[in-house]
Amino acid sequence: MTQVFAHRGYSAAFSENTMTSFIEAEKTGCDGLEMDVQLTKDGEVVVIHDEKVDRTTSGTGFVKDFTYKELRNLNANKMGVKKEPIPSLEELLEWLQSNKLICNIEFKNGIIRYEGMEEKVIELVRKYGLTDRIVFSSFNHYSIVHSFRHAPEIETAPLYSEGLYMPWIYAQSIRAGGIHPKYTVAPDEIIKQAMENGIAVRPYTVNKDADMLRLFKVGCTAFITDDPIKALRIRKQFEKRP
């Protein structure tokens, strides 16, 4: 059964990468979450997508220039009325202990390297005993290899957005357990061959009915969507087909 991962939480209906969006995603009955992590000035791992806080919070400036305490004063709930802070990864991992969700942590370190971020994240994942429910991904494949070297027990998956030739061979070469392609560069044949070669495939960000249906039909490992409610409804219909 193709798993459904909620992209930045249930971001179609709630402010992305907030505790509310993760809690609401869990309530939908989805299988997993996707989220982005970066480091504050004083080295706290926080859950936010952009390098700057401008788009998703009440503040302005780079995440790396805020202390954790300063960052927590910003309001990350732009879609709602109640003030809500940017979550720390620790807060999120602690909450994950209350459920069974799989968690895809994307290292957002393509533009700013955030030296030592992988080690901090690994330490937290181990502290909360979640190593078998975490998948690390990144567009920065050096980071993927770096995290594998430090924590071979945690699955890694490179993100990519353009055609990669025989991506399962590449994944195997960097000891990744999966690949996370943009859905437009994940045709059925690539999905099938990667999975036959033991590589999990979780395309992003799949929001249209027809694209979801295609991935259910091909039996893709999982996909990442902003709208888990829609994905689960389509999965249910697909499973009930004669």
Q: Among candidates 18, 151, 164, which has minimal Cα distance to 84?
A: 18
Q: Is 106 in the site for Ca ion (CB under 5 A)?
A: yes
Provide CB contacts within 8 A for 147, sequence distance 6+.
Answer: 107, 118, 121, 122, 136, 154, 156
Assign 106 to helix, strand or coil: strand
Q: Name the residue with tokens 């924590």.
A: 151
The beta strand positions in 40-129, using DSSP E, are: 45-47, 102-107
Q: What number of chain residues touch Ca ion (CB under 5 A)?
A: 2
CB nearer ligand G3P, residue 55 or residue 83: 55
CB nearer ligand G3P, residue 102 or residue 196: 102
CB nearer ligand G3P, residue 52 or residue 241: 52
Cβ 219 to Ca ion shortest distance, Å: 24
Q: Which residues, 165 to 204, sit near Ca ion by CB under 5 A? A: none
When CB distances are held under 5 to 8 angstroms depending on the partner's kind, the choice from ligand G3P, Ca ion, none that residue 3 binds is none
Cβ 62 to ligand G3P shortest distance, Å: 17
Instruction: Provide the H-helix boundaries in the chain.
Output: 19-28, 68-72, 89-96, 117-127, 141-150, 167-173, 188-196, 209-218, 228-239
From 49, 141, 150, 180, active-site residue: 49
Cβ 58 to ligand G3P shortest distance, Å: 21
Q: Is 146 a catalytic residue?
A: no
Query: Per CB under 5 A, which region of 74-82, 98-106, 166-174, 190-198 contacts Ca ion?
Result: 98-106
192 class by beta-carbon count within 10 Å (0-12 exposed, 13-18 middle, 19+ buried):
middle
Cβ 205 to ligand G3P shortest distance, Å: 6
Residue 38 β-bridge partners: 46
Q: Which residue is nearest to ligand G3P (CB)?
A: 204
Cβ 69 to ligand G3P shortest distance, Å: 26
Q: Which residues, 112 to 151, sit near Ca ion by CB under 5 A? A: none
Q: Which residue is nearest to Ca ion (CB)?
A: 106
Q: Is 7 a catalytic residue?
A: yes
Candidate list 31, 36, 44, 84; residue touching Ca ion; CB under 5 A: 36
Give the interface with ligand G3P as residue ranges (CB under 6 A): 7, 34, 36, 49, 106, 137, 159, 180, 204-205, 224
- Rg of the chain over Cα atoms, rounded to whole angstroms, equals 17
How many other C-beta atoms lie within 10 A of the C-beta of residue 75?
Answer: 17
Q: Quick one: angle between helices 209-218 and 188-196, nearest 10? A: 30
Please identify every residue annotated as catalytic: 7, 49
